[in-house]
Amino acid sequence: MAGIDSQVPAPAHTAASASTAPDSPAALPPDTAPHVHGTAGQDPSVPGPGVLLQDRLAGWVSDLTTLHELTERLARTATLDAALQELLRAGSALVGARRGLVVLEPADGLGPCTTVGLGLARADLGHIETVPRGALPYGRILDGLPGGDGEQVRPDLFAEDGLDPRHREVAARLGYAAAYALPLAGEEAGRLGAAVWLYDEPAKPDKRRRHLVAIYTRYATDHLARLLELERTRAAMATIAGELLPSRLPRVPGMQLAARHRTGPRGGGDWYDALPLPDAALGLTVGSVTGSGPSAVAAMGRLRASLRAYAVMEGEDPVAVLSDLELLLRLTEPARSATALFAYCEPAQRRITLAGAGHCPPLLVGERRTEFAETSVSAPLGMLACWEAPGVEFQAEAGETVLLYTDGLLHRTGDPVDRAFARLHAAAASVPRTLRSDPGAIADHVLHTMLPDGLDRADSKEDVVLLAARFD
């Protein structure tokens, strides 16, 4: 049919079998034998029943192979956006269309809602959205209008009586003349959205293509439902963690602050904080609670809130702050342990006093040095009957940045710990001079150097926290 440029391997049907072969094995005549290739007196130019059956079976094998390949590709997608793009590409090949769009609009109203296009720019999608929803194939499906509970076949838009004028204008502008739409819905998933494929010329998919794409979209809907639930969980955990962490960092004379936080889909127990203290001092802390998921996030929130209180009462003595936190952890969270670092900063003197409990040492980044601060070796909180470790004090120079981080930054690299520390040192040392006056740029450079190619955004059980404090 005009307008269809198939990318799907055509089944091995002969021209005769396409019109005379049965649609299913049950439709075969009872006296048909698969091994018979002809009968006495039959015209040799006319295929026998056995040949027709073999051709039909070859066609089924071809279709099943195509569906298997396409569903395998879809199953390998790990994000909702990637799955929507794959759905459009596969559907385009199955129905023989060049362009399309999928509208994700879950019926439960919990979102996320989005529109993704194939061969359509953002401006093109914007033009389509100016058409009244009831005039569009996906609008009839999503709004439950009469006749919108199944596939929508629009083989020749410009030949339709009563075509919406705005739809006519947009179709002419974008150069499509036909549309085919399917709902994305399942018994368990409910209605998730709708997919539409657009043809450059009047056209419609034949019965075979429609059957294949219907099977594919049923599988795709179940896969999308799983990814949708994962996306919602990830968003919920990120929101909860974000509410438990500082919404903004304080402005402190003599210092500039920046923080970066990455968490996995289940959420984790890493935290950071910056707290103004009496006498123009500043408390900086990073830490990590064991475990992941909602319980770890909740425990992190409780510990961070308690640490803030202890810092206000005795922040000039970091050892006392962590001792109080350790006692609280043993009494209220006996099944957990945590690593933590608390630093008491005096910006005017550029002096830092800190204590750590099983935590990674801070990294000093400046024009003349890039080195780890000397800290004492100590156990994590909750690991021993009573935590105790000496504090340390060091002096920073003007223009230097102190980088605090959690061990997730090291673990996400997949390297042994000693090599990961070496990579971190090299990443900090390679910060360009033009970026060294901006703690946010330093944190970004270190993060992307340690975890390149989007690894910092990839799903992981390890949280990552970076807190950069630059002395003016």
Per-residue pLDDT tens digits for 414-440: 899 999 999 999 999 999 999 999 999
Query: Residue 398 has what DSSP assignment?
Result: T
462 has a pLDDT exceeding 80: yes
Radius of gyration of the chain (CA): 32
Q: How confident is the model at residue 43, as a pLDDT?
A: 58
Which residues, at least 6 apart from 102, have a Cβ–Cβ distance to it below 8 Å? 84, 87, 88, 115, 116, 184, 193, 194, 195, 196
What count of other Cβ atoms lies within 10 Å of the Cβ of residue 28? 17
Pinpoint the residues of the chain covered by CATH 3.30.450.40. 50-235
197, 179 in Cβ contact below 8 A?
yes
| 246-471 maps to CATH 3.60.40.10 | yes
pTM equals 0.66
- What's the whole-number average pLDDT of the chain? 85
Identify the CA nearest to 150 among candidates 183, 194, 179. Answer: 183
pLDDT exceeding 70 applies to what percent of the chain?
A: 89
| Residue 30 preceded by cis peptide, ω within 30 | no
pLDDT classification of 220: cutoffs 50, 70, 90:
very high
pLDDT classification of 266: cutoffs 50, 70, 90:
confident
44 has a pLDDT exceeding 80: no
13, 208 in Cβ contact below 8 A?
no
Any idea which residue has 């199955």 for tokens?
94
User: What's the CA dihedral at 126, 132, 136, 140 to 10 degrees?
Assistant: 130
Q: What is the mean pLDDT of residues 383-405?
A: 85
26 has a pLDDT exceeding 70: no
pLDDT in tens, 100-112: 999 999 999 888 9
Task: Report the C-alpha gap between 87 and 195 in whole angstroms.
Answer: 9
Task: Report the C-alpha gap between 300 and 417 in whole angstroms.
Answer: 24
Pinpoint the residues of the chain covered by CATH 3.60.40.10. 246-471
Q: Which CATH superfamily is domain 50-235 in?
A: GAF domain (3.30.450.40)
What count of other Cβ atoms lies within 10 Å of the Cβ of residue 275? 17
Task: Report the C-alpha gap between 347 and 469 in whole angstroms.
Answer: 10
Q: Which residues pair with 117 in a beta bridge?
A: 101
Q: What is the mean pLDDT of residues 210-226?
A: 94
Q: Which amino acid is at 348?
A: A
Q: What is the mean pLDDT of residues 276-295?
A: 90
CB-based contacts of 74-81 (< 8 A; 24+ apart in sequence): 74/219, 74/220, 74/223, 75/223, 77/223, 77/227, 78/227, 78/459, 79/227, 79/231, 80/104, 80/112, 80/224, 80/227, 80/228, 80/230, 80/231, 81/114, 81/116
